Structure 1
Amino acid sequence: MESLRMLRLAIDYVEDHLHEPMDIDGISRAALSSKYHFQRMFHAVTGFTISEYVRNRRLTLAAEELAGTDRKVVDIALGYGYESPEAFAKAFQRLHGVTPSAARHRNVKLKAYPRISFQIQIKGKSEMNYRLAEDAAATVIGKEIVLREIRSWTFRHLWRRSGGTARMMPSTRPPAGRRDRC
């Protein structure tokens, strides 16, 4: 619960200061946390860094202003903390896929990153009936692949690329060293 409170304080601070300069030290202080602990917690819960969140929120609000007002691009860029219109245009195009000027046109698709909110969902309060059973022996097949880094998409990607069970071969070798099998 304390971690959620910390994250909510940080999000409140960020949202209140999107038009002002801010750094990770200030955000972590607002969250009543150390910089190190806050950054780790935020990334673990959201999947992205606090800097990415701030940048995406600023560029989302900037896109809304570009589409809905006649303010100059340079004024919007400076209002969201960019030091030059060029830096703003580069970041804007990287996120939205269009230039800030093109964002003013109708029917242009832009990305939106809404404010993050955190909720706790409690599961498992219902009764669950189960039984233990012993089945006959099963054959396990797999493909051995040495990976330097494991990401969430790795196993799905490898499974699709290998054609699923059609191209898998039984493993006859015992594991050597530290490896994961899929």
Structure 2
Amino acid sequence: MLESTTTAAAALPTATPDEFRTTMSGFPTGVCVVTSVDGAGAPRGMTCSSLCSVSLDPPTLLVCLRSGGNTLAALLERGGFTVNLLHEEAQGAAQLFASGYPHRFDLIPWEQDADALGPHLVRHAHTSVDCTVALTQPVGDHVTVFGRVHRIVQRRSPSPLLYGLRRFRTWSSS
């Protein structure tokens, strides 16, 4: 858990989870699905909007995943994962992977070739980014996973799916 070490911070009140969720919903972000494969070979995945680039040399990104989830467990066990950047027509996939439905991979096309570190969502991702786990850091009810980028597969021109104010949106050219 992330803790402040200053005395001044200890005296400050903490925002409630609802206040924080509402505030952060006003900061739109791209939507991705993080995927991996568990020890039994079953695909795992979850919708994620906590993604950012960290370093160009070496290419590194980070994702924040819910502690205790099967996607996090699978990628830690495998030591690798794929970040599928969703395109503007992939709202259904984002909602599916945000749901608790256990057989989500039965409902959409995906593939995993020998070089992939997690399933690629071939019709819903404009780009898939294969990463190995470089570092993890538990923070509150999530784990920040730093991924070293090994391969990028672009399928179509990026027109990203966005999420903000608790709604999906698409990029506007105006």
Q: TM-score range by the shorter chain?
A: under 0.3
- Using the size of structure 2 for normalisation, the TM-score is 0.21
Could you say which structure has the higher strand fraction? 2
**Which has the bigger relative contact order, CA under 8 A and spacing at least 6?**
2
User: Comparing both structures, which one devotes a greater share of its residues to helix?
Assistant: 1
Larger radius of gyration, structure 1 or 2? 1
